[in-house]
Amino acid sequence: MKQGLSLRVSQHLALTPQLQQSIRLLQLSTLELGQEIQQMLDDNPFLETGLDDGPDEYGPTQSDARPIDDGEGAGLEAPFSLAADTPRSSEAEAEPAEAGDDGAPSWEGDGTNDTPHDDGDWGGDAPARRNSGEDGEVDATDLARGNESLQSWLHRQALSLRLGEEDRFALRFLVESLNDDGYLDEPLESLAASLSPDDMEQQEELVHRFTVALRLLQSLDPPGVGARSLAECLMLQLRSIQHESPGDEVCPVAIRVVKQPIDLLARRDVKRLAQLCGDSELRVKSAITMITRLEPKPGRRFIDVERNIVVPDVLVTKTGKGARAAFRVVLNPEVMPRLRVHDVYAGALKAHRGGEGHQALQQRLQEARWFIKNIQQRFDTILRVSRAIVERQHNFFVHGELAMRPLVLREIADELGLHESTISRVTTAKYMSTPFGTFELKYFFGSALGTETGGNASSTAVRALIKQFVAAESTAKPLSDSQISEMLKEQGIECARRTVAKYRDALRIAPANLRRAL
């Protein structure tokens, strides 16, 4: 065997740390990117936030936009600068919610508790009811808008109850055991066993205390809180309505309906419910109508809605009219960080070359520069992809979702010279503000369905058609999936019944038998 030396030239892809960081930043959402930037600011002393009135590492603050021909004579504008001066979107400018009254609320009771009590004494002999809406009183909805939690709202009401120390702690424990919907998930026995796992006698005492506290909890506002099932939640709300309107003739029938198996109510089996309740079908229909107006999740209004606010990454504004409509595509300045290298630290490092720890500090400086460059590349890529989407889906931005055309990731990838995985990362958890609302970038991609003319129709447009058909149907005779499929064929779109059912479920539209009018 003879040994030899040879030289071979080859190309291969190396995932350098800089490339790995670029890929990771590209797939982060706006919230996750903010957390990543804050972490980097804390760890790297060479990185700082840029001033609003000065240049930063992203380049000039003036936008340099140019129109793009979309093939229909419409202009499409997009800025080259990441620090474009664009108007703030309405979605990004969420007005702060008005907080509720700071004063203590007044509660209806037996009149024995006219003076406020401190936190150590939940005063009052009768359980608190809902406030009557008089001036100066606090409404639960206002408190929910002020970001007060359900537990805090219930604790405030509990101040009007005069209880012993053990009952007070039992009620507080149940309040803290509620889920976000206002339900008590665990049985009282399980809660008692969690507090005293070895003492059976103590568990029996705790179950008794919890039973009394549960009745008090279920009498508080909002009605239905503390329920252990949907049927019990509806029952508590109906009893509250009956207490406020004793002369209501429909409420007793609704209470009898709720006592029946809940699946009959879900199917709206009027005939069976009328037989079980011993009442006429007309009155049972009125009772079901009343039940459908109740709140199945009493704690829903107390959920912090601010966490569901979507801040768009890209803003699309219309600048023309009609067929000559043009759209301006810019990045949202509210989500764009302004980062730069700390001049003082970088200058000090340059002046003390060869000192102790110079190499480690030089590496941290390079990391800061890489991070800024990767952030810039992230926004550049999002902007390029957004411009390509707006160009391809021009009809959507003019006419709405009915004009959406089929689009796959490969088309955008081939146009921009990127990989499909890169387009997938860009369109995940990134949002675009349009004249028709705010959508995730993935919304503009959809599969194609064949048409009679040999063309393709977007699945998004088909779902919009299904939504229109259901909205215009007769409530007494709703459309079945087969009928919707036939209507789509009349429009020239080949869509099977099972595909219609899949799209209907995705739109959260109930089947025909549940949409039938009462």
Q: What is the pLDDT of residues 305-325, one digit of tens each?
A: 545 578 899 999 988 776 677
Which range among 94-108, 394-408, 441-455 has the greatest average pLDDT? Answer: 394-408
Q: What is the pLDDT of residues 13-27, one digit of tens each?
A: 777 888 888 888 888
Last residue of a domain, one of 443, 468, 497: 443
pLDDT of residue 454: 64
Query: Is residue 478 assigned to a domain?
Result: yes
Query: Is residue 475 assigned to a domain?
Result: yes
8 Å CB contact between 287 and 254: yes
In the structure, what pLDDT confidence band is assigned to residue 400 with cuts at 50, 70 and 90? Answer: confident
Outline where 245-314 has alpha helix (H).
250-258, 262-267, 270-277, 281-292
Among 36, 91, 518, residue whose Cα is nearest residue 291 = 518
Domain carrying residue 206? 117-222+298-306
Whose tokens are 């568990």? That residue is 203
More confident residue, 303 or 115: 303
Do 407 and 325 sit in the same domain of this protein? yes
pLDDT of residue 322: 65
401 pLDDT above the threshold of 90: no
Do 194 and 68 sit in the same domain of this protein? no
DSSP conformational letter for 493: B
Q: What is the pLDDT of residues 322-364, one digit of tens each?
A: 667 788 999 999 888 888 888 887 787 777 776 666 788 888 8
Query: Is residue 108 assigned to a domain?
Result: no
Query: Is residue 98 assigned to a domain?
Result: no
Average of per-residue pLDDT across 183-203: 87
* DSSP three-state, residue 196: coil
Do 348 and 461 sit in the same domain of this protein? no
Query: In this predicted structure, which of 361-365, 373-377, 437-441 has the lowest mean pLDDT?
Result: 361-365
Q: What is the pLDDT of residues 217-250, one digit of tens each?
A: 999 988 999 999 999 999 999 999 988 888 888 8
Last residue of a domain, one of 264, 284, 306: 306
Computed over every residue of the chain, the mean pLDDT equals: 78
449 pLDDT above the threshold of 90: no
Do 146 and 194 sit in the same domain of this protein? yes
Query: In this predicted structure, which of 100-109, 227-236, 287-296, 325-334 has the lowest mean pLDDT?
Result: 100-109
Do 122 and 218 sit in the same domain of this protein? yes
Do 235 and 258 sit in the same domain of this protein? yes
pLDDT of residue 15: 78
**Backbone angles phi and psi of 429, in degrees to 5:** 60, 25
Per-residue b or e along 474-512, where b marks 16 or more CB atoms closer than 10 Å to that residue's CB? eeeebbbbebbbebbeeeebebeeebbbebbeeeebeeb
d(CA 26, CA 377) in angstroms, rounded, equals: 9
8 Å CB contact between 445 and 409: yes
More confident residue, 140 or 28: 28
In the structure, what pLDDT confidence band is assigned to residue 391 with cuts at 50, 70 and 90? Answer: very high
pLDDT of residue 147: 63
In the structure, what pLDDT confidence band is assigned to residue 112 with cuts at 50, 70 and 90? Answer: very low
Query: Is residue 103 assigned to a domain?
Result: no
pLDDT of residue 65: 38
Do 418 and 469 sit in the same domain of this protein? no
Give me the number of domains the chain comprises.
Answer: 4
* DSSP three-state, residue 306: helix
HEC assignment per residue over 85-144: CCCCCCCCCCCCCCCCCCCCCCCCCCCCCCCCCCCCCCECCCCCCCCCCCCCCCCHHHHH
Do 302 and 174 sit in the same domain of this protein? yes
Which range among 73-77, 128-132, 471-475 has the greatest average pLDDT? Answer: 471-475
Among 217, 248, 76, 240, residue whose Cα is nearest residue 150 = 217
Q: What is the pLDDT of residues 414-425, one digit of tens each?
A: 999 999 999 999
Do 500 and 458 sit in the same domain of this protein? yes
Query: In this predicted structure, which of 101-115, 385-399, 495-509 has the lowest mean pLDDT?
Result: 101-115
Average of per-residue pLDDT across 447-476: 82
Do 490 and 506 sit in the same domain of this protein? yes
**CATH code at 479?**
1.10.10.60
Do 21 and 164 sit in the same domain of this protein? no
Outline where 308-342 has alpha helix (H).
none
pLDDT of residue 146: 53
* DSSP three-state, residue 396: helix
Q: Which residues, 6 or more positions from 239, have their beta carbon under 8 angstroms from its beta carbon?
A: 255
62 pLDDT above the threshold of 50: no
Element (H, E) at 19: helix 17-26
How far lies 168's CA from each of 110, 201, 449, in Å? 19, 20, 62
Query: Is residue 96 assigned to a domain?
Result: no
Last residue of a domain, one of 306, 339, 354: 306
Do 418 and 273 sit in the same domain of this protein? no
Query: Is residue 330 assigned to a domain?
Result: yes
Average of per-residue pLDDT across 279-293: 89
Query: Is residue 218 assigned to a domain?
Result: yes
pLDDT of residue 385: 95
Outline where 44-82 has alpha helix (H).
none
Amino acid in position 194: S
